[in-house]
A and B are shown apart, each in its own frame.
Chain A
Amino acid sequence: KQEVTQIPAALSVPEGENLVLNCSFTDSAIYNLQWFRQDPGKGLTSLLLIQSSQREQTSGRLNASLDKSSGRSTLYIAASQPGDSATYLCAANNTDKLIFGTGTRLQVFP
């Protein structure tokens, strides 16, 4: 059974810092891994999707990497801004089901 864990659970940083959010999964037989952002009380916004054959994906200030053999993915946020404040969720896709991590709640203060 796939289990997904995210570290840290919460993070509070000053504006401008570079951040690394971690995601671990127990079953490496994934199709892909997806990172989402969720604002309080809202739905999910997809940030990056990494296929199982890929090592990383980039979008603007965001970079996500995937190491299937070690069961890890990281989301790197460069030059953080207050608008980045949200909960970040990773989800592993096994057998056409998304298994979500526990989330990292990020606060970036001016």
Chain B
Amino acid sequence: SAVISQKPSRDICQRGTSLTIQCQVDSQVTMMFWYRQQPGQSLTLIATANQGSEATYESGFVIDKFPISRPNLTFSTLTVSNMSPEDSSIYLCSVEGVEGDYGYTFGSGTRLTVV
């Protein structure tokens, strides 16, 4: 299965600022997925990122708040913009399996605290 490097692993940010999270995959993948996990909650899909096109956002998430870049088949970034304490969560990227392995692999997550 693919190996994903996600960074930063954690950060503490001031409200009103922005944070960009990066995910690097060790193989080429068509789609990358970004999730949010609020404290004590399960994972919620934010958006799906395809290379060369705009990301597709789930209901309740908008591009102005969570802009996503996908410049090539191995890399993606998620920015959390104009942060408030409600954005404090773990953010995770994910890719679907390759070479017949259809399970999903996740990055190690970014633990964000907004103060």
* Pair from one complex: yes
Question: Are the C-beta atoms of B43 and A46 separated by less than 8 Å?
Answer: no
Question: Are the C-beta atoms of A43 and B102 separated by less than 8 Å?
Answer: no
Q: How far is it, in angstroms, between the C-alpha of A103 and the C-alpha of B45 when the chains are bound?
A: 16
For B103, list chain A residues within 8 Å (CB). Answer: 32, 34, 46, 49
Q: How far is it, in angstroms, between the C-alpha of A51 and the C-alpha of B94 when the chains are bound?
A: 19
Question: Are the C-beta atoms of B43 and A43 separated by less than 8 Å?
Answer: no
Which listed residue, B43, B45, B102, B107, touches A51 by the CB 8 Å rule?
B102
Question: Are the C-beta atoms of B109 and A49 separated by less than 8 Å?
Answer: no
Inter-chain contact total with CB atoms closer than 8 Å:
54
Are A49 and B108 CB-contacts (below 8 A) given A100-B43, A103-B42?
A: no
Size bracket, chain A contacts: 20 to 34
Question: Are the C-beta atoms of A96 and B31 separated by less than 8 Å?
Answer: yes
For A102, list chain B residues within 8 Å (CB). Answer: 42
Question: Are the C-beta atoms of B6 and A46 separated by less than 8 Å?
Answer: no
Interchain nearest-CB distance for A95 vs B (Å): 11
Q: Does residue A98 face the partner (Cβ distance < 8 Å to B)?
A: yes
For B61, list chain A residues within 8 Å (CB). Answer: none
Q: How far is it, in angstroms, between the C-alpha of A103 and the C-alpha of B40 when the chains are bound?
A: 10
Q: Mark B78-106, 1 if CB is under 8 A from A, else 0.
A: 00000000000010101010000111111
Q: How far is it, in angstroms, between the C-alpha of A97 and the C-alpha of B96 when the chains are bound?
A: 10
Closest-by-CB residue of B relative to A50 is B103
Pairs A-B, 3 closest by C-beta atoms: A49-B103, A43-B109, A43-B108
4 extra interface residue pairs, beta carbon distance < 8 Å, beyond A43-B106, A91-B104? A44-B43, A89-B43, A98-B45, A98-B94
Interface residues of A (CB under 8 A from B): 31-32, 34, 36, 41-46, 49, 51, 89, 91, 93, 96-98, 100-103
Interface residues of B (CB under 8 A from A): 1, 6, 31, 33, 42-45, 48, 90, 92, 94, 96, 101-109, 111
